[in-house]
Chains A and B, each alone.
Chain A
Amino acid sequence: MKRYLQVIWAVLWKDLRIESRTKDVFTSMAVFAVLALLIFNFAFELRVPDKAMVTPGVLWVTVAFAGVLGLGRAFITEKDKGSLAGLLLAPVDRSAVYFGKMLANLLFILVVELFLLPLITIFFNVPLITPALLLILLLGTIGFAAVGTTFSALAVNTRAREVLLPVLLFPVMLPVLVAGIRSTIGLLEGDTLADLGNWLQLFLFYDLLFLVVAFLTFDYVVEE
């Protein structure tokens, strides 16, 4: 178990170290997120009477689209540089590599979300920075990163990998997106976390399900 955790930490450390130097993932996700917000802002300003109505959708759709950019790079860079084989040669169960990558992706997306929330609050004039919403975002992002990391590894050996990832990911992500949007609407309308019990259970179930599925299948997913 100690070796397994060491490998998770090694992969996470490596991805964070590289990202701290290149800022490739954060820059691409953050720039995309800001552009998407600007477009949503101008589009809804013209037609929507109250922008607060569309804020939950804007938040989750922006996170989903920006997140795909980061998730796509998780294994493509490893594959293109030829370093994926180095990870797969580690003498532990390969799911440890998955969890290291998943945690790195989770952190990258969470950082972008923390960057995004004040911008949405300013653009849409809706107070989004609350502990309850941060919890909802965390739970949704865990599910997103769990599924996205698996599909990113699956897509990397295909020719149309950049296209395949969102095509595979978004249908499976739909329950998380719906739960996220519904929960955010509820919070903005004054619901408490206790009122959102069903959505929270859905998040937890989804997160756990896909972490277990990834644990069981990752060895086959990354194989040629």
Chain B
Amino acid sequence: MTTDPLIEIAGLQKAFGRHRVLRGIDLAIPAGSAIALYGPNGAGKTTLLRILATLSRPTGGSVRVAGVDIAANPEGIRQHLGLVGHAPLLYDDLSAAENLGFYARLYGLPAADARIADLLQRVGLYERRRDLVRTFSRGMVQRLAIARALLHDPAILLLDEPDTGLDPQAAERMTALLRELGGSARTILMTTHHLERGLDLADRVLILAGGRLVFDASAATLDAAGLRPLYDHYVGTGAA
């Protein structure tokens, strides 16, 4: 078993014009770990995930996945990434099965029909597979987005506030689904404002504030009640 980290981030910086969003992030993420990344709005969480997803280029520093610089082989890295974000990356005017079929073609998946049927069963949408996504509730859309992100069985799952806009029941169901489908072999990096939900999924907790990682600890040593004062200390009272 290798001890090398799956994701290595070194001196990562990102600026939009004069506005520096990330100010030097150093982070090593071992394979199979699940990380909850907290931070206030504007801390740089989404920017960090977009860089990891090869959707944005860093201004400085480097990101390596399995030892490969993502700038050198972005296509190869994308094969191993799944992303669930604020937006579901789905098409309202395609059915659930058509959306997954489209992404299966993008990823060149063989035997896609069986995989799509299996995932739709597991996210509880198989009976609605022929319905247009525009007829789905927000919770159903987000479950379908999870199926989309896992379609190609990625080694790394990036979750950017996947609970945004969900009611508590839908958010709980989504968390349970991620726990079930995430799998222990998959590396998960999740941003969220919800301290309990992050702790529920993660084995490691990070806090990003002002473009820097200001806190890094094992989730095993924390509960939500203990994390709250730490969070408030690092990012300001009531920020989450």
B91 / chain A contacts, CB cutoff of 8 Å: 14, 18, 81, 83
Check A91 for interface membership: any CB of B closer than 8 A: yes
Q: How many residues of A contact B (CB 8 A)?
A: 27
| Per-position 1/0 for B90-112, Cβ under 8 A of A | 11111000100011011110000
Contact B106 A85 (CB under 8 A): no
Contact A93 B55 (CB under 8 A): no
B127 / chain A contacts, CB cutoff of 8 Å: none
Check A21 for interface membership: any CB of B closer than 8 A: yes
A91 / chain B contacts, CB cutoff of 8 Å: 75-79, 106-108
CA distance A176 to B218 in the complex (A): 62
- Pick the interface stretch among B81-89, B171-179, B188-196, B224-232: B81-89
B145's nearest neighbour on chain A, judged by CB, is A86
Check A122 for interface membership: any CB of B closer than 8 A: no
- Pick the interface stretch among A5-13, A65-73, A191-199, A200-208: A5-13
Contact A85 B87 (CB under 8 A): yes
CA distance A17 to B180 in the complex (A): 33
Contact A18 B87 (CB under 8 A): no
Check A185 for interface membership: any CB of B closer than 8 A: no
A88 / chain B contacts, CB cutoff of 8 Å: 54-55
Contact A86 B89 (CB under 8 A): yes
A17 / chain B contacts, CB cutoff of 8 Å: 93-94, 98
CA distance A92 to B105 in the complex (A): 11
Contact B79 A86 (CB under 8 A): no
A-B contacts counted at CB < 8 A amount to 82
CA distance A224 to B56 in the complex (A): 7
B148 / chain A contacts, CB cutoff of 8 Å: 86
A residues 39-84 near B (Cβ < 8 Å) are 81-83
B79 / chain A contacts, CB cutoff of 8 Å: 91
| Residue in B85, B105, B106 whose CB lies within 8 Å of A82 | B85
B94 / chain A contacts, CB cutoff of 8 Å: 14, 17-18
B residues 89-139 near A (Cβ < 8 Å) are 89-94, 98, 102-103, 105-108, 132
Q: Chain A's nearest CB lies how many Å from the CB of B141?
A: 11
Check A160 for interface membership: any CB of B closer than 8 A: no
Check B53 for interface membership: any CB of A closer than 8 A: yes
CA distance A88 to B103 in the complex (A): 11
A223 / chain B contacts, CB cutoff of 8 Å: 55-57
**Also in contact, A90 and B106, with CB within 8 A (given A17-B98, A22-B93):** yes
Contact A86 B103 (CB under 8 A): yes
A89 / chain B contacts, CB cutoff of 8 Å: 53-55, 78, 81, 83, 89, 106
A224 / chain B contacts, CB cutoff of 8 Å: 16, 50, 55-56
A22 / chain B contacts, CB cutoff of 8 Å: 93
CA distance A25 to B136 in the complex (A): 24
Contact A82 B89 (CB under 8 A): yes
Contact A82 B86 (CB under 8 A): yes
**Also in contact, A10 and B88, with CB within 8 A (given A88-B55, A91-B76):** no
CA distance A154 to B141 in the complex (A): 29
Q: Could you show 13 A-B contacts with beta carbons less than 8 Å apart?
A: A3-B108, A9-B105, A21-B132, A83-B91, A85-B85, A89-B53, A89-B83, A89-B89, A91-B77, A91-B107, A93-B75, A224-B16, A224-B56
**Which 7 pairs between the two chains have the least Cβ-Cβ distance?**
A82-B87, A86-B89, A10-B105, A91-B79, A91-B78, A90-B106, A18-B93
Q: A14-B102, A82-B89 are in contact. List 17 more A-B contacts (CB 8 A).
A: A11-B106, A14-B91, A18-B91, A18-B94, A21-B93, A21-B132, A81-B92, A82-B86, A82-B87, A82-B88, A83-B87, A83-B91, A89-B89, A91-B76, A91-B77, A223-B55, A224-B50
